[in-house]
Amino acid sequence: MANNKTRKVRALAKARPKATARKNPKAATTQTMPKSVVSQNRSEGLRLFKLAGRPTKEQFRLVYGEKGPLMTWGQRSAAGVPASKFQAALARKGGSRPSKAAGRKNAARPARTTKKSVRTPGATANVLDQIPATLNARN
């Protein structure tokens, strides 16, 4: 037999209305704050960096000269090579990017070509001869 507390909990559960979907889903989303000028410039620079193929400082020096890594993307495009043309300019200068497989550990590992050799009875006997007699004694 259910006690009084259980009955009250069941009655409250029945009395509560079911949750309904919100009529205005846009009000539920969080509003983004307007970006500052600094963060806008930074995000634009990162976008152009990705567009250029994520070049290294060494590649910047090869294409734009010694000041290449210190230049902004505006200065680099004024120098004649925008971010969209960076990889083509790099190829002309002779500094191609290494393939993705070159950096992987598995690429350096040689392929297994032979199976493990099967021990012959003679080889097993030779191994047993090398073990001291105290360890090799069979009980």
State pLDDT tens for residues 17-69. 666 666 665 655 666 666 788 899 999 999 999 999 999 999 999 999 999 99
> What DSSP letter does each residue of the chain carry, written as one string?
---HHHHHHHHHHHHSPPP---S-HHHHSPPPPPPPHHHHHHHHHHHHHHHTT---HHHHHHHH-TTGGGS-HHHHHHTT--GGGHHHHHHHHT-PPPPGGGGSHHHHSPPP-SPPPPPPHHHHHHHHHHS-HHHH---
pLDDT tens digits for range 74-98: 999 999 999 999 999 999 988 766 5
Q: Is the pTM of this model over 0.75?
A: no
- Among 11-15, 52-56, 104-108, 114-118, the minimum mean pLDDT is found in 104-108
